[in-house]
Amino acid sequence: EFRREGAVWSLVFAGRAAHMPDAKGLRDLHTLLSRPGDDVPAVRLLDPEGGELVVAARRMGGDDVLDEEAKSRYRHRLAQLDDEIDRAAELGDDRRAAEFDRERAALLEELRAAAGLGGRTRRLGDEAERARKTVTARIRDTLRKLDHAHPELAAHLRATVSTGSTCRYQPDDTIPWRL
């Protein structure tokens, strides 16, 4: 059983019952349990009443944090700095080499901040990315709370729920949830 009764959820699994206060993570899990094996976009879980138009708009993402021209300029300046550092080192000007090295480190940090997983470009205002992070965090938080209230259910959900830009409940066997 995975039911909401007013402000409290009634959770029954493996012969054990628990009651938890309402939370968005529990609502997300309820949606996933009602659709076993289906991919559910995180943007839908973030705003279930938003409808198809909102889901489609949020999936589009935003503009790149750095466009190709900006990346090209960063690369060019990094090459210049490498030459300046080498030149300063040859002349024995450690102070100047250190200044160029600090600038180089700052530029590299900016590039790292603009890059996402696997070096892909981050996007400004990317609703899908924001939804992925938010939904993942609230499901993870709910599972931590379930560890205390109902460890068996928490373990089952950890093993069968995947989160990301799409989320899924994929049990090995069909479980007849009363939702």
107 vs 16, more confident: 16
Scored b (16 or more CB within 10 A) or e, 43-57 reads bbbbeeeeeeebbee
Distance, CA of 74 to CA of 31 (rounded, Å):
45
Number of domains in the chain: 1
Average pLDDT of 66-75?
Answer: 80
Average pLDDT of 19-42?
Answer: 96
Query: Is a pLDDT exceeding 80 seen at residue 65?
Result: no
Residue 118 belongs to a domain: yes
Residue 177 belongs to a domain: no
Domain span at residue 85? 2-169
